[in-house]
Structure 1
Amino acid sequence: MTIEARDRKILWGRSHNLCAICRQQLVLDATPTDRESVVGDEAHIVAQSGGGPRAGLIPTAELDKYDNLILLCKVHHKQIDDQPMFFNADYLRNLKAAHERWAAEKFEVPDTGNNRHGSNSKGEVAVEIVRTSAETIDWDPQQSQRGNPTGQYVAFEGRQGIYWALVGILLVMAVFATTGAIAGSWAWRIAFVGFIAIDTPLIIGFWTLAMRPIRLEVGTVGVQTFFPKNSAWMPWDLIDRIDVARVDGNLGVVAWSRYAEVYPTTSEEGMGAHYIQALGAVRLCPLGPLRAGRHDVVRALQFYGQNRCT
């Protein structure tokens, strides 16, 4: 069997001539002496041969169809075939779908009834594209449900030292208050007992928060952070660029997105993901509490985020 021209055209068109993993151009410009060079492969998700990677998952008649093809550079074609356990069929299908959604949004003008057409003074047609709002794209930036499929993300976690510090301070104050309640006069005893009654719930509350780790998950669908009090979620489709950057003197995972403003500011939320107006970006997670180095987090962002993290 061979790949039909129709399936080939759909694959290259929807992928916009870019590798679905690294998004490198797959058609290189001609030189003064030679024609253009095609460096892309129409890779099979489920192998054609019986002993190939991910073989035997679909009928033979479907092997050369568009649904079983993914456009890749030669390096990543080799990688997915050498590492079929990691690059399983579902992973590759999700990767392909995410890439094609990204390509459609980045390179194509939506043809909707909301677009307004007019002409300028030179008679040229002008098009005003109505941008999609966060409310219309079925996305909850603070969803608590895991956004990445099981087994298709890497996780980093750690605990906030500030909560342990508060627990320690409150415990010391409780000890002093208890000593005062035992040795002091009746008036002081009443005051110290009242203080202990207030102090004890605070100790329990901060202890509970200290025991809940901050967890950063970087996966095939997006980046998600679970905080002691809330969570943050941003799919790759909505991220223009992501990196580990220094914000207010501290390193954190920072994402640039046209929807960044939907996140709360630090003054509104305190702990958690927040919008940084000066950068026009969202700090999704601080690096300080995580038991991971900057290079580990950057490597995960580069792998799953493709060319969004450089």
Structure 2
Amino acid sequence: MADITVDASVSTLLYKQAVRLGPVWVSTSTAYVIYRDDSADLVYQKTADGGASWASPVSVHTGSLAALSIWYDRWTPGHAGTVIHMAYGDTVTDLVHYRSLDTSDDSLGTEITVFTGVSLLDGDWTNRVVDVVRAVGGNLYIGFWADSNGGELGFYRSTDDGAAWTSRAQLADGNATDGILLMPGNETDEDDIWCIYWDRSADEISLKVYDNSGDSWAETSIATSMADDVDYYDMSAAPRHSDGHVILAAWSEHNSATADLRVWDIDGSGSITAKTNVLTDTNLGGQVAVFIDQQTDAIYVAYVTTWGASASIKYKKSTDG
């Protein structure tokens, strides 16, 4: 298939604003993308013909969107739900919101305020970030920083499909914004979750495990000497449904001659296994996305090479884990 334009009126800074946008494939023909448009509003678009054409944008939130992430029920191992969960922040109202989109009938749920702040920022990844996930057991979780170093941050849980949210044990190491990827856990308590945590000040990526019943976090290092970039989110992860493991890919540096695109197989704090690099000592590289074919366990890692007026998007595939 040739490249298809989904919409020409998206934010020019989309790469600084969303941890996950989709596409969310609910069948071989139907998918959704969720994004900030060039008016700073949150919208979604849908295809019903495998991506050959896309319907007009549908409004989700009108305001001044600064941070966004999504999670689809069926990205969580064992879940057969039909809901896309959206978490996002607005710089005008200084609110962090949650809203659902049910793909069974395209109905939008009520917009829920998760957190009320005073100084939610736009800008690069050191200013704000938000992520959302559905645990294997069904709980929903949202983690976020709303400003660069002002203490507006939080970790919240919903036990009723997003209708109400309560503050839980703090995920953050401190007020300074770090990178996070919330993931379903593979623990005895199915409402425990994992967080891939990129400590920007320490240049370290770690696994944080949230104990739902004890409301506490435990941390294990994954890799050191991992230099983040403030403009690009240079890590991605996805759960593998066959065994509950998470596959993580991350660049050791951004756009550097000594940069490696590294991969790990994670099954909790006691099982973090470095796999073969996707790329080693690769200049002009950055950004990454991990996809898993849940039917065959094949792993796809996509990345960008060659920066400037034009860029190349490539991928590599592994069929042996």
Q: Which has the higher contact order (CA 8 A, sep 6+)?
A: 1
Q: Which has the larger radius of gyration?
A: 1
Give the TM-score normalised by the residue count of structure 2. Answer: 0.24
Flag the structure with higher helix content.
Answer: 1
Flag the structure with higher strand content.
Answer: 2
